[in-house]
Amino acid sequence: MSKGLGTTVGRSSRRRVLRLAGGGITMAALGAGLTGCEDELATGGEDSTPPPRSASPEDGKAPEDGKAPEPLWTKSTSAQTYGDNDELVAVDGVVIASGDPLTAFDGATGEERWSLPGGAVPGAPLLLGDGTLYLESGKYDGSVAGYVPGSGKEAWRSRLGKEYRQPRPVAVDAEQVYVIAEILEADGSSRTNVIAALNSGTGKVAWKEQRDLGTQQNGVHAAVKGRYLVYTDFKNNLTVRDTATGKQVWTQKTTKTSYGPFVVHQDLVIVPQGQRLQAFALSDGSEKWSVQAEEFTTFREPTLLEDVLYIADSGRTLWAVEPGTGKKVWQSTALKDAGGQVPRQFVKVGGTLYGATDLDKQGGVHAFDAKAGGLRWTFNDKSGDYHAWLVATDGKRVFALHGKKLHALPA
């Protein structure tokens, strides 16, 4: 199994500022300032959910009652998340949320399977590759560790070197773990950083390349596809390196800073850039297609599921797009009609698409008909917690994390 798509390192994003601001009046004021026109479209009262619709699921709309299912189980967790998609994973019969201690719950029952104090840096990505869970060490000892997800047993550990600080995994494939770390100066400070590949079998350094002056080790989203390591950062850079050597294949400035994950499909990297969704060739960075949202609306984070790209925009339109061509499969305004919050992460089980929203009001986990985008129901735990919702699935259940509460919903 390999997972390196859309992974995140660093928590300096706009979303993190939003979450660390806390709740109450401060949170409401800051959220209104940053979400702009999205909040103007909201309807309904506090902690309300979208109203029921009258059509049947077969024609792409919600069932008649529009009610969300009751959770199969709910557990309090040690989760410390900042809203990035790779902070909640479901694998090998367990569901794990980033936090300290790092805790795995049985997907079927919710019972604790294992717990690992200091296992990971809270909010750090949980990277899965070749049956191993790779983590930045929560002991801050300069190491990167790998664990067996089902048991929590340590299977692998590596160090980049004493001259580097805080190596953070950004992506993983079947052979290597890719990390970014600060390069230490003689006085203990750091002005530059390095990107490196660690052999996932031996832990030895396969290659390391110093990044340009002015780049940061925080705020990086990365993906691996064959011979290409792709990443974006807060400096508006889109960069591709050769996975075998680390040499830069190409880099270019993007029109907007990418605050969230992007998608890699076959020979393309697809990046939301404000009002445009753009696809570039992995080989040379040339633009292959572009999709434009309506005026004054911006695209959110994309998700690729079963060769369909799903993405929402700030105008509350949900899109399904062919990733190879940019051709629209369908568009749905059901979310806008219901006054729901915009989803920014998706999972799919059968014919249902589940979307997790950012802020809590009018949000939660939306269930859509995957064929046409009709809104079936919205689950919200009514806690009012200011953290973003996160979703993961094992194919039988959908796991929804909200602050410290982890819910298992029937899929």
- CA distances in angstroms from 335 to 41, 158, 386, listed in the order given: 10, 46, 21
- The angle at the Cα of 210, spanning 209 to 212, to the nearest 5 degrees, equals 130
Which residue did the predictor score with more confidence, 309 or 182? Answer: 309
The pLDDT of residue 212 is above 50: yes
Q: What pTM value is reported for the model?
A: 0.84
Please check whether residue 162 is in contact with residue 182, taking contact to mean a CB–CB distance below 8 angstroms: no
The pLDDT-based confidence of 284 (bands split at 50, 70, 90) is very high
Q: What percent of the chain has pLDDT over 70?
A: 83
Which residue did the predictor score with more confidence, 44 or 378? Answer: 378
Identify the three-state secondary structure at position 28. helix
Average pLDDT over residues 117-135: 88
Please check whether residue 152 is in contact with residue 139, taking contact to mean a CB–CB distance below 8 angstroms: no
Task: Find the DSSP H helices in 232-364.
Answer: 334-338
Q: Give the per-residue pLDDT at 257.
A: 64
CA atoms within 13 A on the CB side of 188: 0
Average pLDDT over residues 7-21: 42
Tell me phi and psi for residue 80, to 5 degrees.
-130, 90
- The angle at the Cα of 12, spanning 208 to 255, to the nearest 5 degrees, equals 80
The pLDDT-based confidence of 184 (bands split at 50, 70, 90) is confident
The pLDDT of residue 19 is above 90: no
Tell me phi and psi for residue 338, to 5 degrees.
-90, -10
- The angle at the Cα of 95, spanning 91 to 101, to the nearest 5 degrees, equals 120
Q: Give the per-residue pLDDT at 33.
A: 35
Identify the three-state secondary structure at position 115. strand
Q: Give the per-residue pLDDT at 124.
A: 80
Which residue did the predictor score with more confidence, 65 or 243? Answer: 243
Q: How far is CA 173 from the centre of its chain?
A: 17
Neighbouring residues of 339: CB distance < 8 A, sequence distance ≥ 6: 41, 42, 43, 44, 50, 362
The pLDDT-based confidence of 225 (bands split at 50, 70, 90) is very high
**Best CA proximity match to 392, nearest among 40, 105, 78:** 105
Per-residue pLDDT tens digits for 381-396? 999 899 999 999 999 9
Q: Give the per-residue pLDDT at 56.
A: 35
Report the alpha-carbon distance of residue 116 to residue 138 in Å, rounded.
10
The pLDDT of residue 20 is above 90: no
- CA distances in angstroms from 46 to 42, 52, 71, 171, 361, listed in the order given: 11, 17, 21, 39, 6
**Best CA proximity match to 222, nearest among 180, 190, 184:** 180
Q: Residue count of the chain, please give it.
A: 411
**Best CA proximity match to 309, nearest among 292, 328, 286, 335:** 328
Which residue did the predictor score with more confidence, 234 or 297? Answer: 297
Q: Give the per-residue pLDDT at 188.
A: 78
Q: Give the per-residue pLDDT at 85.
A: 86
Average pLDDT, the chain: 84
b/e per residue 338-351 (b: at least 16 CB within 10 A): bbbbbbbbbbbbee
Burial class (CB in 10 A: 0-12, 13-18, 19+), 285: middle
Lowest mean pLDDT among 78-92, 117-131, 146-160: 117-131
List, in sequence order, every residue forming a beta bridge with 90; answer none if it has no partner: 95
Cis amide prior to 69 (ω within 30 degrees) = no
Q: Give the per-residue pLDDT at 226.
A: 95
Placement of tokens 């009262």 in the chain: 45
The pLDDT-based confidence of 65 (bands split at 50, 70, 90) is low
The pLDDT of residue 1 is above 60: no
Report the alpha-carbon distance of residue 297 to residue 46 in Å, rounded.
24
